Amino acid sequence: MTKSPLRSKVRAGLHRCLIRFGIDTRKKRPDRVALEKIIFPELQKDPQYQSILFVGCAWYTLHYPSLFGGKKFQTLEIDPAQACFGAMDHRVGSCEELEAIFSRGQFDCIVLNGVFGFGMNTPDALNRTLHGIHYAMRPFGLLVFGWNDLPAHAPFPPFSVESWNLLEPYRFPPCNSERYSSDSINRHSFHFFVNRP
Ligand SMILES: C[S@@+](CC[C@H](N)C(=O)[O-])C[C@H]1O[C@@H](n2cnc3c(N)ncnc32)[C@H](O)[C@@H]1O
């Protein structure tokens, strides 16, 4: 659902202002803490991840570009009204159309968190997205896929689609696992994959 651009801009301005005055408005749910305190620091630290695409923007992702100083951090969001929460290098578009928006192999890492079940809701849409990820990410680039295993946000079992065979599960060092369950209430988990050549 498209949000009001004016409302989003006011919200972005308000959060920027509050953060500048030391009032932290960021979400503190366990899945967000896992993303910001475990996953992002590893991406920032590891030199193999220089070019990162983050899909889906909201008020609580406003500060994400600032966590990736020295790296190329781009954002993509289907709703134009959410662009004010994106990076300087932001594209309005769908993750189902990555081939049309980006170049082959341009990313070392793609973070697709909270998009499945929040707009990208059909097996066809997920298949198209995975094909686009395979195209836009270099061989052995990292996909971070986060989702909520709740009836409202899991329209079908995400790993039932065949295009996952374009990627390979990857043991992500800080979690020492291919999967990290961050939140038992929201049933949120992160899954890590590398791109097959
Ligand atoms: C729950 S928010 C998640 C935001 C963020 N990715 C995060 O880590 O929480 C979902 C966002 O994904 C966006 N979205 C939904 N379908 C999309 C698509 N096909 N391509 C790009 N963005 C999409 C929605 O507009 C919404 O802003």
Q: How confident is the model at residue 7, as a pLDDT? A: 81
Using DSSP bridges, classify how beta strands 188-195 and 167-169 pair: parallel, antiparallel or unpaired: antiparallel
Convert the pLDDT of each residue in 86-103 to its tens digit.
999 999 999 999 999 999
**137 CB-near residues (< 8 Å, 6+ apart):** 105, 106, 107, 108, 109, 110, 143, 195
Q: How confident is the model at residue 138, as a pLDDT? A: 98
Report the topology of domain 5-195.
Answer: Rossmann fold (3.40.50)
Convert the pLDDT of each residue in 102-118 to its tens digit.
999 999 999 999 999 99
Q: Is the pLDDT of residue 140 over 70?
A: yes
Calpha distance 33→190 (Å, rounded): 12
**20 CB-near residues (< 8 Å, 6+ apart):** none
Query: Across the chain, how many H-helices and E-strands are there?
Result: 5, 8
Q: How confident is the model at residue 10, as a pLDDT? A: 79
Q: Is the CB of 114 under 6 A from ligand 1?
A: yes
Ligand 1, from 67, 76, 115: best to mutate by most atoms within 8 Å of Cβ? 115
> Which segment of 4-8, 58-62, 129-133, 193-197 scores lowest on mean pLDDT?
4-8
In the reported structure, the alpha carbon of residue 57 is separated from the centroid of ligand 1 by a whole-number distance in angstroms of: 6
Question: What is the percentage of the chain residues whose pLDDT exceeds 90?
Answer: 82
> 141, 170 in Cβ contact below 8 A?
no
Q: State the greatest distance between any 2 C-alpha atoms of the chain, in Å, as a whole number.
A: 48
The DSSP letter of residue 11 is H
In the reported structure, the alpha carbon of residue 75 is separated from the centroid of ligand 1 by a whole-number distance in angstroms of: 10
Convert the pLDDT of each residue in 2-33 to its tens digit.
788 888 787 777 777 776 676 666 677 899 99
